[in-house]
Each structure stands twice: as C-alpha cells, then as structure tokens.
Structure 1
Amino acid sequence: MRADLAINELHLGVLRAELCRFDDTEHAAYVLFGLSRIEQDPFDGQPRLRLMVKDVLRVADDEIKSADHQHISWSTKRFVELLARADREGLHVGIAHSHPRGPDHFSSQDDRNEAELARLAQNRNGETAVLPSLLFANDKLVAGRVWTSPDIVVNLGYARTIGGNWHTTFLATEPTLASPALARQELALGAGFNRLMSHMRIGVVGAGGTGSPLLQQLPRMGAGHIGIFDPDHIEHSNLNRLYGATWDDAERKVKKVEVAKREIERMGLGTQVRTYDSWIGSAECRDALKSMDLIFGCTDDHDGRLLLNRLAYYYLIPVIDIGLALRVTERFAISCLEADGRVSVLEPGSSCLVCRRVVDARIAAEEALRRNEPEEYERRKTEAYVRGEGDPSPAVISFTTSVATMAVEEMIQRMNQFRGEDGSIANRVRKFNLVEDFRPGAKQEPCRICTSDRIHGLGDVQPFLGRAG
C-alpha cells in the first residue's frame, strides 16, 4: 500500500507557525484528516490511502507535561475527546510534531508513542480508524506516515499543497528524469517542473473539442500518467476539431478515448494512459478520479461539471474547468462571430462553478434523467417538461485549442509561478473578438460547497460526494 497527503497552504502555514518556533523546543498539534481509500490505483494497480488535512488544533500549554529540544510529552485526554468528534464527523485524528535540531525522521520513541495512540484510536473508533503523523524540521514538512494498525505503518510518498500555488514535497525518493525531448522545456521551466510532470497523475474529463488539444500538449510536456474519461464516440461533425481523429474513426464510431490514447502512444514519450468510456459518475471511474493530483474538466454537460465541482472540494484535487461559447450574431445586417473562452480553477479558496453561474442545476437534473431513465426523459420532453437537446453549437479548432492552452498556462503558473508569486488567476474569460481578457467575480450568497469548509477535505462519504442517485 502507498499513501500521500493533500494539504491547503493555509493549514500548512498554521502547522509551521505552531511547530517551527525559534525556541529550540519540540512542539505538537492535533490534526483532523479526511481519508480517501483507493482500492486500486489506475497506473500501478496497488491500493492507496490519501490523507486530506481538515483542521489543525494546537496542543495547549497546560496539556504539555514536559518538553525540550529532543522530546515532548502531553496528556492524551483531549486526544480521546477528539476521537469522539472524529467518529461523529467521519474523520481521523492525527498528530504533528517538530524536531527543532533534527533528525528529519521519526525516532524510536515516536514509534512507541504513536503505536499506542493507534491502538487507542482503534479501540475507541473501530479497526478502520487510522493514525496519521507528520514531522516538521527546519521549518518544513520532512516526513509523514499513517498507522493502519498498532503494528502496521505506511510512509507517505509525497505531500501536495493546494491553494493558489501548488507545491509537491517528496517525502520518499524523488523521481528522476532525463529526457532529451524535454531539454528545451527544462531551460524554460526547470528540471523540477519536468520531474513533477512525470510524477503527477493528471485526469482529463472530456476528449472532445477542448480535451483533444489538451491531450496533445500534456504528454509533450512530460506528463507521466494521464487518465482520460469520455463515454462518447467519434462523429463526422467532430473531425473539424479532434486532433488525430479520421473519417474512418467516425465511420466505425471509434471511442474518443481510444483515439486520444492512440495519438498519445504514437508520440512514444512514455506516458502511461488509462481510458474510461463511462460517464464520470459511474462507480468504475471513482478510484481513478480519486487517484488524480490534478483534473482538467473539458466536459460540456452540467451534471458532469457539478460532480467535478464537488470532487475538487471534497478531495482537495484541483480542477481546471474549461468552457468555450461561440455565438453568431448580426450587427447592421452583418454576421459576426463572438467567441468567449473561460478557464476556472476549483479548489478551497476559489469560488465554485455554482457561484460563478457556470452550471445550471435544472439542466444537470435533466441530463441525469436522460442518462439514467431515457424513456422517462423522452416522455417529459414530449410533454415539454424538459428542454431537449437543442441545436448544435458552433465549433472552430483555433478557439478550442486556444482555450485549452489558457488552461495549460494556468497549470504552469501554479506549479512554476512564471507570472510571479501572486500571478495565479482563479477565473479568466478571454473574449477573442475583443482581444481582451476579463476576470469575472462570483455571486456573494453563501454556498455550501465553496464558502463553507465543512466538506473541504472530507474525503470518502456515503453516498459518493454526498450526491443522491
């Protein structure tokens, strides 16, 4: 089994402030975690645990029995109280502490103490309870692990920080990469960017107009692992914007994911590709979605966007959602094309697609009805209770490619900060006909997805993502 960590940069800042003080004394904090249990990683087939930091609680001074530069001891009374809270809220209680003078690994005393806390947690909350533990030294996270029983511990492979800028700390062996195909990119973005791209698991939901150019770029940037999700097949009307798709593919109704995989593998760059020709809400897609470190939302259905919208906040997996609207209008009896491309980043600290008025819950419900109960959907369409499919949307390959590139640029910024530390843009709209970019805001009404931290990092719940049906 492997394990990793996702943490909001705000929580990471709190942990550093609590644990890494300049007083040459060990400090400790309690951490509440959400948990993602992945039965089978799509790329290596192994089970995985992903921890998500939900809250950080200081160990108060009056709880500490003794502390110096090489040890800390405190009462476990509040630990038991927090176990009760965790049991109610579907969370797990963990600890974090510091080694002000090192070492940057857990000590034998840490091993003994944590094994007993793991035993206490499972006695109180059952055998599915786990005990995560984080270690800080020299003002940074240097090690982490999770006790799945008092006798079994799994080391964290890496920790991923989200929230504006994305950083990955490798707690095990850092991946190595030396590819002549990426030498020019390394000159621009650095060797660290290339290593991170080779390590990350990137999901692309939708292999159509915007997903297709995205899937041409990511492997050429060194993406080592890509999961592609799309239930549709190639049609003749797709051929003006799907890279690599042929007339024969449309004649044979080849799946879009198969064309995308074929084109990536033809590059010969070593990218591992996994494809899913089911709707993303299907049970067979869950492990794969939960395994990703980043997801690009290239779907044009409202229900799919609503699912990704929740996934970003429940599992602390950033989603870069892409949208393109082309409209042909008339001005002074002259036909004009208006083209708006949008890139929105979904993560705690950023407004969701509901607050940005990108998705419509009613349309999403109609899409779910059409997918799950097609006969009932047709009956309601006949009686005008649902809208029906409507007219096909205009599509031009230059615009779909441009908005996909906008999304890739935002990924680069958050990983590399090429625009500077404050250069990340949570929501950008490009009006191609005006040659201008805008940054629209979001509505101010309270939202239970993005403005309430109740679900942020909550992880596995029943039903999945709290969605009925």
Structure 2
Amino acid sequence: MSTTINQPIKLAISEAHHAKLREHLFPGDGLEAAAIVLCAQSAAHRYVVNQILLVEYVDCSERSPDRISWPGTAIEEAIDLAEAHALSVVLIHSHPGGLLAFSAIDDDSDREVMPALFEASESHLTRHGSAIMTSDGAICARLYDHQLMITPVSAVHLASDELLTWQASEQGSLLPTPMAFSTEMGRHLKHFTACVVGVSGTGSIVVEQLARLGFGRLILIDFDEIEFKNLNRILNATLDDARNSTAKVARFAAAIPTYRDDIEVLTLKASVATREAIELAGGGDVLFCCVDSFEGRQVCDRIAAAFLQPLFDVAVTIPTRQISGGIAVGDVCGRVDYVKPGGSTLADRGVYTAEALRREYLQQVAPNELTKQVAEGYIKDVAEEAPSVISLNMRAASDCVMEFIARAYPFRQEPNAKRARTQFSLAAGEEEFMGETDFSCVPNPYLGRGLIEPLLGMPRFAVSEANT
C-alpha cells in the first residue's frame, strides 16, 4: 500500500445531527447556547460526529449575546460516555453575531477548560476541542492534543442533498463555494479526498475524471489484476500490463502522475471486505462504489455510514430477450444512486438483499449447489469474456461524477432531493429519477461509528481476526 503524507484535520457531521445542533444553539432569543459533540475517528486526520449532548439553557449560569457559562457536570457526563470508545469531546457554542472565528473570550475559556478535560480523560492520545456555529449553520472547529497544542480543523463536511463544506477565512467569514465547472472549482477540489472502490471498467473512468477534475488526493482500492480481456474497457491499461498481471490500482498510480504533479494517490490491492481496506477508505471525504458484487456494495454501504461519507454507487447492465434464432439486446441500462449518511441506504433501496448476499457467497464457496450464477456479467444470459461496453461505461461513469458535481457545486434547476437515484435506458431514450422520499429508511446503527470496534459493526473485521 502506498504511504500517506500528513493531512489537514477534517470533521464530518450527519444531516440529522447538524439539524439538532442548529435548532438547539439558535433558539431565537439572540443569546449563546452550548452543546457537547462526541466524535469518533475515521482516519488519523478525520473525525466524525458520533453523539450530541445538549446543554440545557436553564443549567447555564450565564447566557448573553457574546458569552456563555455552563456547568462542569455536563462535561463530566460527556467524558464518561467518551471513555468507552476513546471518543473526542468537542465543546460547541453559538455565535449569534455571525463571527465564524474564535473570540478572545473563547480562547480564555479553552485555556481554562481544556486542561481539566484532559486531566479527566484516561487516554493521552485522544484529542479534544472546541467549535462554534453561526446562524446559517456553518461550523468552525479546532482540536487540542495532550500538550494543549492547537490544530485548526481545516474543513467541516455535511453530506445532505447538497455536499456542504465549511471553511473559515482568517477574517472570520465563510469561504464561498466556487461555481460549477470553473477553474476555481478545480482549485477547490484540491482540498478533497475521493475514495474509489473498484478500478475496472466503470471505476477506471470515474478515477480518470476525478484526477483530471482536480481532486488533491485519491484512494484506490481493488484486488484484481489487468488481463488481456480487460484491455478494451480499462483506461490507461496496456498490453504490457496484461502480460505482467499489473494490479489495476498500480496502473493508475503510475498513470496519474504523468499529467498531475500536485496529487497524492494511495492504492491498496485488496478486497474492500478487508480490515486494511476499510481503514484506508475512512480517510476519504467522498466514496465512489464501482464494484460488481453484492458484498462489495454492502461493505461500501457500511463504510459510508460509519465514516459519514456521501456515497455514489454506479452500475450498468444489458438485459437480453429471446428472438427466433437466438438472443437480442432488450435494453441498455445504467443506474446511479446517491446515498447521504442517515438517509436510505443501498440496502433500503434493494440494491442488495440478504438472499442475494447468501447466493453470492454460495457461488464462491460451493458453486455446484446453485443452478444459476448470481453475477452474470454485463450482458445477461450471454457469456462474454471481453464485452465491448466502454461506451456504456463512459455514459454511466460520467453520470456518476456529474452527480457529485451537481451536489458539491449546485447547478440544477430542480432540487437535488429529487435525484437520489437516476436510471437511464438507452434503448428507450429515457431517464427516470427517484427522490429520497421514494425509499423507506430504517434507523442506521452504523452511523458515525468511525473506527469503533468491531469495524462497521461486523465481527469479522475485529482486531483479533485481523491479527491472526
């Protein structure tokens, strides 16, 4: 696996937690209010909001437009909850006046509270911090280590129907979101990390777009090697790659620096269903799922929830129909799902089911027990070693990346909420859209878990198994 350089600290929060905080911190009286945020790590440089504890207004000894005092008992309760999983305690309060920066009063408060917070914590490795929110929902935060050295949180991410990123200027104002497709958008993307799982027919085209759009860091995960049958649909793949069985991720790690000298590419030749892959994926700000297995999609679903990452899942298929004398193309289809943390998951949407996972597992370990293969390739009911599908893959991969752009740098005339799923039929020349409200959604127990053991709430990824 490629090594990584030091990254700026980032924080991610779910839509529900953000709404809860904003409602509490701005009750409408123009006075400061406070809460405590417990954060789990999803990587060494990235934190995710796991729990929120509200400080009741009546428990505060002072509330004014520019100052708040609240009891130490609230912090003691937070420390008790945090210790079980080494969570970070972040004290957050509102700035009704709109300053997205820490005031001198805030600095004085931290100098008094932070030493006591670390003294009460057992772990010297866990960082704690403070944060502020302005009435528009923007958040600015900073973390302290045990020596009370300050590290600013460079950006706070919220994946809702839009992908919001809050970065404060030195003057205490919010840096604006660039216009879609502008040069400034490319510069802005340099601060983002994208994780792509599956770097084959569709995934290779997604990676190529992300690299050329301007992402500053790419995490590429794929277990497979390049074969001759892949050469007609994997970008940058060569005959020498096929002869030498070059890893798909290695091909892109070598190709991207030939046209970008300001990008970091991390690669892992492994299944996403491994502890190493999950830990590496936790460093991404956004997750692109380009796999063709149900297990791969399930793991990506869990990763996105645990690490509070927006998930873009892409798939293509060519249904067939029986005609006299053989089989003909029935349709040419593609699908892109956007999953926001806390919204309907790929499981909720039926992209994979328990039965599909079971059948796929049996196909791997006991194929003779099944009468029909689960994964039938691009063209249904037709055995094709090297299907000529790069044009279809290009269309679907473009739709996938455009979905990301439309949410990070909004440009649509209709609300993004109506595009939780996009499906296209090239045979019929049609596109269909489904909104978030078109899917049922059950509570997600994996939301904001970060690296809490067992990873993704799945015992097979526990530390003991990884070390045996």
Q: How does 1:214-363 map to 2 (within 5 A)?
A: 214-268=206-260, 270-331=262-323, 335-363=328-356
User: What's the secondary structure of 1:219's corresponding residue?
Assistant: helix
**Which residue of 439, 460, 463 maps to 2:451?**
460
Q: Tell whether 2:17 aligns with 1:11.
A: yes
Length-normalised TM-score, structure 1: 0.82
2:63 aligns with one of 43, 46, 67? 67
Question: Residue 343 of structure 2 aligns to a residue in which SS?
Answer: coil
The equivalent residue for 2:141 is 144
With over 3 angstroms needed to count, the CA separation of the structure-2 counterparts of 1:401 and 1:139, relative to structure 1, is closer
Task: Look up the match of 2:464.
Answer: none
Deviation larger for 306-315 or 90-99:
90-99
Partner Cα separation in structure 2 for residue 5 and residue 188 of structure 1: 24
CA separation of 1:99 and 1:78: change in aligned 2, threshold 3 A: same
The 5 Å alignment of 1:1-80 reads: 2-20=8-26, 23-38=29-44, 48=45, 50-80=46-76
Distance 1:331 1:387, change over 3 A: closer
Please, which moves more after superposition, 6-15 or 163-172?
6-15
Contact kept? 1:91, 1:458, Cα under 8 Å: no
Q: Deviations over 1:150-194 (max 9, x none)?
A: 6233221111111110121224779xxxxxxxxxxx886334422
1:57-456 counterparts in 2 under 5 A? 57-87=53-83, 91-101=87-97, 104-127=100-123, 128-137=125-134, 139=136, 141=138, 143-149=140-146, 151-171=148-168, 189-268=181-260, 270-331=262-323, 335-364=328-357, 377=365, 380-382=366-368, 384=369, 392-394=377-379, 395=387, 396-420=389-413, 422-424=415-417, 425-439=419-433, 451-456=442-447
Look up the match of 2:382.
none
Moved more, 186-195 or 216-225: 186-195
Compared CA separation, residues 189 and 54, structure 1 to 2 (3 A):
same
Distance 1:157 1:226 in 2: 18
Classify 1:164/1:137 alpha carbon distance in 2 versus 1 (closer, same or farther; 3 Å): closer
Q: TM-score, normalised by structure 2?
A: 0.82
Q: Which amino acid aligns with 1:430?
A: F
C-alpha RMSD of matched pairs (Å) = 3.3
2:55 corresponds to which letter in structure 1?
V
After TM superposition, the structure 1 stretch with the greater mean CA deviation from structure 2, 27-36 or 413-422, is 27-36
8 Å contact from structure 1 (residues 54, 456) kept in 2: yes
Give the distance between the partners of 1:325 and 1:275, measured in 2 at CA: 28
1:6: Cα distance to partner? 0.7
- Aligned pair count reads 437
What is the CA–CA distance in structure 2 between the aligned matches of 1:460 and 1:368, rounded to whole Å? 26
Superposed CA deviations along residues 344-376 of structure 1, whole A, max 9, x for unmatched, are 1122243211122212445545766888xxxxx
CA distance in 2, matches of 1:299, 1:70: 51
- Which letter does structure 2 place at the counterpart of 1:439? F
SS at match of 1:323: strand
Amino acid at match of 2:109: N
Q: 3-state DSSP class of the match of 2:61? A: strand
SS at match of 1:439: strand
Judged with a 3 Å threshold, the aligned counterparts in structure 2 of structure 1 residues 134 and 442 are, in CA distance, closer, same or farther, namely closer
Q: Deviations over 1:19-73 (max 9, x none)?
A: 35665533222333333342xxxxxxxxx2x222234444222111123233211
Tell me whether 77-86 or 12-21 shows the greater mean CA deviation.
12-21
Q: What amino acid is the match of 1:436?
A: E
Q: 1:386 to 1:111 in 2, by over 3 A?
A: farther
CA contact (8 A) 1:327 1:339 kept: yes
Structure 1 CA distance for aligned equivalents of residues 56 and 244 of structure 2:
67
Q: 1:172 to 1:85 in 2, by over 3 A?
A: same
Sequence identity percentage: 27
Q: How far 1:92 sits from its partner (Å)?
A: 4.2
Deviation of the 1:408 alpha carbon? 0.9
* Secondary structure in 2 matching 1:291: coil
Cα gap change, 1:281/1:111 in structure 2, threshold over 3 Å: closer, same or farther?
farther
Once the two structures are superposed, residues 300-340 of structure 1 have per-residue CA deviations (whole angstroms, 9 ceiling, x without a partner) of: 12212111100111110111011111222224667234222
Q: Contact 1:302–1:361 (CA<8 Å) still a contact in 2?
A: no
In the TM superposition, what is the alpha-carbon distance from 1:421 to its structure 2 partner? 6.8
> CA separation in 2, counterparts of 1:90 and 1:392?
44
**Structure 1 CA distance for aligned equivalents of residues 130 and 164 of structure 2:** 20
Partner of 2:405: helix, strand, or coil?
helix
Gaps of 5+ in 2: 1-5, 172-177, 380-386, 461-468
Which deviates the most, 116-125 or 75-84?
A: 116-125
- Retained in 1: the 8 A contact 2:301–2:346? yes
Q: Aligned-pair distance for 1:273?
A: 2.0
Distance 1:266 1:152 in 2: 39
